[in-house]
Structure 1
Amino acid sequence: MTVLDAIVAGVREDLDARRRALPLEAVRAQAEQAPAVRPFPADEEFGLICEVKRSSPSKGELAAIPDPAALAGAYARGGAAAISVLTESRRFAGTLADLDAVRAAVDVPVLRKDFMVEEYQFHEARAHGADIVLLIVAALSDAQLGEFLALSRALGMAALVETHTAAELDRARDAGAELVGVNTRNLKDLSVDPARFRPLAAHAPAGTRLVAESGVSDADSVAAYAAAGAGLVLVGEALVKDGDPESAVARFTAAGAAAASAPTQE
Structure 2
Amino acid sequence: MNILDQIVARKKEEISVSKSQKSLESLKNSVFFDRRTFSLKETLIQKSGIIAEFKRKSPSKGIINDQSDVLEVAKSYEKFGASGISVLTDSDFFGGNFEDILKIKNEIQIPILRKDFMIDEFQFYEAKSIGADVVLLIAACLSPMQVKEFTELSHDLGLEVLLEIHTEEELNHFNKNIDLVGINNRNLKDFKVDLQHSVDLKNLLPAGTLSVAESGIYSFEDFKFLKNKGFDGFLMGEYFMKNENPGEAFETFVSNLIM
Following superposition, the deviation at residue 242 of structure 1 comes to 2.4
In structure 2, the CA distance between the partners of 1:43 and 1:32, relative to structure 1 (3 Å rule), is closer
Matched residue, 1:214? 215
1:181 is paired with a residue of what secondary structure? strand
Structure 1: tracts of 5 or more residues without a match: 259-266
Helix, strand or coil at the partner of 1:105: coil
Letter in 1 for 2:95: A
C-alpha deviation, 1:28, in angstroms: 2.6
The corresponding residue for 1:60 is: 62
Task: Assess if the C-alpha contact under 8 Å between 1:85 and 1:110 holds in 2.
Answer: yes
Q: CA RMSD in A?
A: 1.9
Query: Is the 1:149–1:177 contact (alpha carbons within 8 Å) kept by the matching residues of 2?
Result: yes
Give the Å deviation of 1:106: 1.3
In structure 2, the partner of 1:9 is 9
Give the TM-score normalised by structure 1.
0.90
Aligned residues: 257
Contact 1:136 1:161 (8 Å CA) reproduced: yes
Q: Please tell me whether the aligned partners of residues 222 and 255 of structure 1 are also in contact (alpha carbons under 8 angstroms).
A: no
Deviation larger for 247-256 or 126-135:
247-256
Q: How does 1:61-140 map to 2 (within 5 A)?
A: 61-140=63-142
Aligned partner of residue 30 in structure 2, secondary structure: helix
Q: Report the Cα offset of residue 252 of structure 1.
A: 3.5
Closer/same/farther in 2, CA of residues 13 and 175 from structure 1, 3 Å limit: farther
- Aligned ranges 1:207-246 → 2 under 5 Å: 207-246=208-247
Structure-2 residue corresponding to 1:186 = 187
Percent identity over paired residues: 38
CA contact (8 A) 2:33 2:131 kept: no
Distance 1:206 1:170, change over 3 A: farther
Change (3 A) 1:58 1:200: same
| Aligned mate of 1:47, from 46, 49, 72 | 49
Partner of 1:28: 28
For residues 85 and 179 of structure 2, what CA distance do their matches in structure 1 show?
19
Compared CA separation, residues 221 and 254, structure 1 to 2 (3 A): farther
Inter-partner Cα distance in structure 2 for 1:65 and 1:35 = 31
How big is the shift at 1:209?
Answer: 0.3
**By how many angstroms is 1:207 displaced?**
1.7
What's the offset of the Cα at 1:243? 3.8
Structure 1 equivalent of residue 201 of structure 2 = 200
Report the CA distance between 1:169 and its aligned residue: 2.1
Amino acid aligned to 1:89: S
Residue 30 of structure 1: SS of its match in structure 2?
coil
Is contact 1:214-1:234 (8 Å) kept?
yes
Q: Which residue of 2 aligns with 1:38?
A: 38
Aligned partner of 2:172 among 151, 160, 170: 170
- CA distance in structure 1 between the partners assigned to 2:69 and 2:227 by the alignment: 30
Distance in 1 separating the partners of 2:170 and 2:227: 21
Instruction: Identify if the C-alpha distance between structure 1 residues 32 and 59 changes in structure 2 by more than 3 Å, giving closer, same or farther.
Output: closer
Q: 1:147 aligns with which of 141, 149, 152?
A: 149
In 2: Cα distance, 1:254 partner to 1:165 partner: 33
Assess if the C-alpha contact under 8 Å between 1:79 and 1:249 holds in 2: no
1:27 is aligned with what amino acid? L
Alpha-carbon distance in structure 2 between the residues aligned to 1:119 and 1:257: 41
**TM-score normalised by L of structure 2:** 0.92
Q: Is the 8 A contact 1:112 1:133 kept in 2?
A: yes
The structural deviation recorded for 1:122 is 0.4
Distance 1:62 1:238 in 2: 10
Which residue in the other structure is 1:263 paired with? none
- TM-superposition CA deviations, 1:152-171 (whole Å, max 9, x none): 11111111000001221232
Higher deviation after alignment, 51-60 or 185-194: 185-194
Q: Secondary structure at the match of 1:186?
A: coil
Which residue identity lines up with residue 177 of structure 1 in the other structure?
Answer: I
